[in-house]
A and B are shown apart, each in its own frame.
Chain A
Amino acid sequence: MSTLNSADFGFATLIEPSRMIAGLGDQILVTGANGFIGSWVVRTLLKSGFKKIRCLTRAASGSSNLDRIRAEFGSANLEVINGNLLSREACARIVNGAAVVYHLAAGVEKTFPGCFLNSAVTTRNLLDAIIATGTVKRFVNISSLAVYSNEELRRGAVLDETCPIDTELVERFDPYAYGKAKQDEIVREYGRLHGLPYVIMRPGITFGPGKAKIPGRVGIDTFGIFLHLGLGNRMPLTYVENCAEAIVLAGLTPGIEGEELNIVDDDLPRSRDFLRRYKRNVRRIRTIPVPYSLFYFFNFIWEKYSAWSGGQLPPAFNRRTCKAYYKSQVFSNNKVKALLGWRPRVSMNEALDKFCVYAKERMVKA
């Protein structure tokens, strides 16, 4: 088995094991461990030599990813617990003795109360248990790049950690981002009131094997035609393996309590390059390029109609969403590199190839 000294890992040599805030024998907790990113976090921890990894999964999410990990690494260092963070008893049980908590479980529903319940309320329950147990040295909270507001940013400006959090996420009709923003608020509050040693990580669009869909920032597949909305925009992509390594580092690096870090890879492709590559390597799809100004106007009309009609059409399309996802911005990973010493180990070129191979395989199977 690899250890932290292995050259397999870009991050491995960046922290002296003696400086890490948790040792290889310490108890690590990963919530949402069977998820797309969560399972890669578990894999990264195992490859790094951690010996006591407790994985929380929900029955509804199954355990297919963790089953694959068990087949690859064995079960000796893994403890899989099926539970629900809405249960305070379950929270107390899973945090018992944990030194580092990677909190990836999230609400990904379509409703505001559903996302809030499964992001904010669950996080509050988990944090209460963490404060009570008193053993946790680092709480890594996984948020999302979607919580930022780019209302005041001009096109082409840099979106980074200095940008404000969007306070109009209800108007944006974005339950996921709303749940995440509220989750972040709770984490900060616990940091302030209870001295919680937290780090908030905000991945961009995480992609790689396990997710075959074209990211929504590229465009929308509607009635068999793909509306290409991203055009020349840079995509804030992060390859899942790279992203997981940054998250793992955030749990181990000393002296970064209270920091909020965005995760995007280097050499971010433009939307049109991504789509071209997809068409060439995965499947031919009919696409129609839609200029930003035209789509913005469509969103304006839809938003006005939705309000006028009392929600006969929900405000799923609105100007704030249009700006948040389709206004061209530049994304920076300077802070995450500076504080964690993280470097994307898998190049964007290789990552896109891996994504296309996976998406193609899924196409063939389907």
Chain B
Amino acid sequence: MIKAAIVGCGKMADQHAVQIQRISDAKLVAVCDAEPLMARQIAERFNVPAWFTSVDEMLASAKPDVVHVTTPPQSHLTIGKKCLDAGASAYIEKPFTLNTADAEELIELANRKGVKLTAGHNGQFTHAMNQMRRLVADGFLGGRAVHIESLYCYELGDPAYAKALLGDSDHWARKLPGSLPHNIISHGVARIAEFMTGENIVVSAQAFSSPFLQEIGQSDIIDELRLIVRDENATTGVFTFSTQISPSLHQLRLYGKKHSLVVDDDHQVVIRLKNKEYKSYMRFFVPPVTFAGQYLRNMAKNFGRFLRNDFHLPNEAGLLTLIKAFYASVQHDAPLPIPYREILLTSRIMDAAFEQMNVQRQEQALRSLVAKEA
């Protein structure tokens, strides 16, 4: 039986608590939040036997095997270290840490203490992403990926988070080094990091505030980000983060030497782009039919899974899969669901992006100042 605890009792904590309760050999033994009312309310709703306002007290008293850290990212390093020092493994929500140096420190400490870490990249474990990974493992791409495109959109109208952010000039997400994208893009960037084979990553970034945010006087928030990534093995990736693209898409395109793949995470659809030649005009008639067949099979697969009570919403399904795999790693020393290399590479790409973003922000601010004075 895994004894789990949660630190940080906001909206993400609820999602974790729901999934932990779905795992038969896990028990949520404690919750903790600096705000006692928040700690108490989740304990009451999920029948958690103990709630705390101090992480140290919780670790000493409840002695959890795994701690889920769902606090704002600024506290991930400090809380993560406390957990690891106390001998607990830690599931740390995304973004894993504020920067790569902090991530390295945590991983080094986990290795030293003989405990484990994972990052909250549950978007990597949706049904569609799992299917994609099986196809890649079976050699569908014909080797490693040549190029990766990851599109990760975000709706500013989302009342669950964006309204809180826009309505609060002191919101913690505004204070992140990478602005709004820092709190969101880990899922999308991790999808690129997973398939980069080299270690020397070059990142080129374009970041700006959308005209929408500028109009409503919130240009201190960056909500548009484009990245081009390349490693020494000539694997390339393009990442797009946007609040303005409609519909709000979450897609991954993997291009191989033999075939390619499209993962539509919004609809849990995986489409195979096969390198197959058709005679003359047949190329315009046959592939659309085969694509239609693929979409139908995706629908059947999703519906079948729903009937078997094995679908759930993609992020919830991904969260459950990731938590289960992490617990298996902690309990039975199974491989980590997310290799540390992938966590660090994701962090390095984000560091490079935010460094350039902040230079561009300063330039943008300077241009605005000059324009005002003129």
Cβ 8 A contact of A170, one of B11, B45, B167 = B45
Q: Is there contact, CB below 8 Å, between A60 and B166?
A: yes
Beta-carbon contact of A116 and B168 below 8 Å: no
Q: Which residues in window 1-36 of B have CB below 8 A to A?
A: 9-11, 13-14, 18, 22, 35
Tell me the bound Cα distance from A112 to B13 in angstroms: 11
Least CB separation from A124: chain B residue: B37
- Indicate if A84 sits at the interface (CB-CB under 8 A): yes
Residue of B nearest to A89 (CB): B170
Size of the A side of the interface (Cβ < 8 Å), in residues, is 25
Q: Which residue of A lies closest to B159 (CB)?
A: A109
What is the CA–CA distance of A67 and B37 in the complex, to the nearest angstrom?
35
Chain A residue nearest in CB terms to B44: A170
- A113 contact from B13, B163, B306, Cβ within 8 A: B13
Say how far A356's CB is from chain B's closest CB, in angstroms.
Answer: 28
Q: Name the B residues within 8 Å of A60 (CB-CB).
A: 163-164, 166-168
B374 at the interface (CB under 8 A from A): no
| A120: contacting residue among B22, B37, B166, B170, CB under 8 A | B37
Q: Which residues of B contact A84 (CB under 8 A)?
A: 167-168, 170
Q: Report A48-81 CB contacts with B as 1/0, cut-off 8 Å.
A: 0000000000111100000000000000000000
Which chain A residues (12-63) contact chain B, with CB distance < 8 Å? Answer: 58-61
Contact residues in A for B169 (Cβ distance below 8 Å)? 59
B283 within 8 A of A: no
Shortest beta-carbon distance from A288 to chain B in Å:
26
CB pair B160 A110 closer than 8 Å: yes
Known contacts A109-B159, A111-B11; A59 and B41 CB within 8 A of each other: no
User: Is B311 among interface residues, defined by CB-CB distance under 8 A?
Assistant: yes
Residue contact B159 to A311, C-beta cutoff 8 Å: no
**B41 touching A120 by the CB < 8 A rule?**
yes
**Is A312 part of the contact surface with B, judged by Cβ < 8 Å?**
yes
**What 1/0 mask marks residues of chain A from 99 to 134 whose CB sits below 8 Å from any chain B CB?**
000000000011111101100110010000000000
Whether A112 lies near B41 (C-beta < 8 A) is yes
Interfacial chain B residues near A310, Cβ < 8 Å: 22, 309, 312
Q: Which B residues between 124 and 173 are near A, CB-CB below 8 angstroms?
A: 159-160, 163-164, 166-170
Residues from chain B with Cβ under 8 Å of A347 in the complex: none
Q: Are A113 and B42 in contact (CB under 8 A)?
A: yes
Given A61-B167, A113-B42, A114-B160, answer yes or no on A311-B10 (Cβ-Cβ < 8 Å): no
Do A111 and B38 form a contact, CB below 8 Å, given A310-B312, A312-B312? no
Question: How far does the alpha carbon of A116 sit from the alpha carbon of B35 in the complex, in Å?
Answer: 12
Best-surrounded residue of A60, A61, A87, A182 (most CB of chain B within 10 A): A60
A308–B159 CA distance with the chains assembled, in angstroms: 29
Contacts of B316 in A (CB 8 A): 311
Chain A 302-314 interface mask (CB, 8 Å, partner B; 1/0): 0000001111100
Min CB distance B186 to A, Å, is 21
- Which A residues are in CB contact (< 8 Å) with B41? 112-113, 116, 120, 182
CB distance from A52 to the nearest CB of B (A): 26
User: Hey, which chain A residues are within 8 Å of B306, CB to CB?
Assistant: 312
- Inter-chain contact B167/A121, CB cutoff 8 Å: no
Please name the residue on chain A nearest to B22 by beta carbon: A310
Q: Which residues of B contact A121 (CB under 8 A)?
A: 35, 37-38
- Asked whether B18 lies within 8 Å of A59 as measured between CB atoms, the reply is no
Of chain A, the residue at the smallest CB distance from B33 is: A113
- Interchain nearest-CB distance for B346 vs A (Å): 27
Query: How far is B306's CA from A80's CA once the two chains are assembled, in angstroms?
Result: 51
Given contacts A111-B160, A309-B309, A310-B312, whether A59 and B35 have CB atoms under 8 Å apart is: no
**A-B CB contact pairs (8 Å), 27 listed:** A58-B167, A58-B168, A59-B168, A60-B168, A84-B167, A84-B170, A109-B160, A110-B160, A111-B14, A111-B160, A112-B14, A113-B9, A113-B11, A113-B42, A114-B164, A116-B37, A117-B10, A117-B38, A120-B37, A124-B37, A170-B45, A308-B309, A310-B309, A310-B312, A311-B22, A311-B316, A312-B306
Q: Which residues of A contact B (CB under 8 A)?
A: 58-61, 84, 86-87, 109-114, 116-117, 120-121, 124, 170, 182, 308-312
Binding site for A on B (CB under 8 A): 9-11, 13-14, 18, 22, 35, 37-38, 41-42, 45, 159-160, 163-164, 166-170, 306, 309, 311-312, 316
Nearest 3 CB-CB pairs, A to B?
A60-B167, A309-B309, A58-B167
